[in-house]
Amino acid sequence: LSFYWLPDNKEALVKSIESEFSELIAHSVSTGKITLPPIPEVVLRIQSLCTQETTEIIDIADCLLEDPGLAAVVIRVANSVIFNRRNITCTDLFTAVSRLGILRVRDIVTAQAIEQLKHTVSLSKQCNKILVKSAATSRELAATMVMVAKAFKEAQPKIYNYVEVEKALLSGLLADIGLFCMVNEYHQYLENGNYLDIDIALQIFDSQCAASSQLVLSSWGFD
Q: pTM for the complete prediction?
A: 0.67
Report the alpha-carbon distance of residue 95 to residue 100 in Å, rounded.
Answer: 9
Q: For 140-181, what is each residue's pLDDT tens digit?
A: 998 899 899 989 989 998 888 888 887 888 888 888 888 888
Report the alpha-carbon distance of residue 160 to residue 131 in Å, rounded.
Answer: 34
Mean pLDDT value of segment 32-61: 82
Residue 193 — φ and ψ, nearest 5°?
95, 5
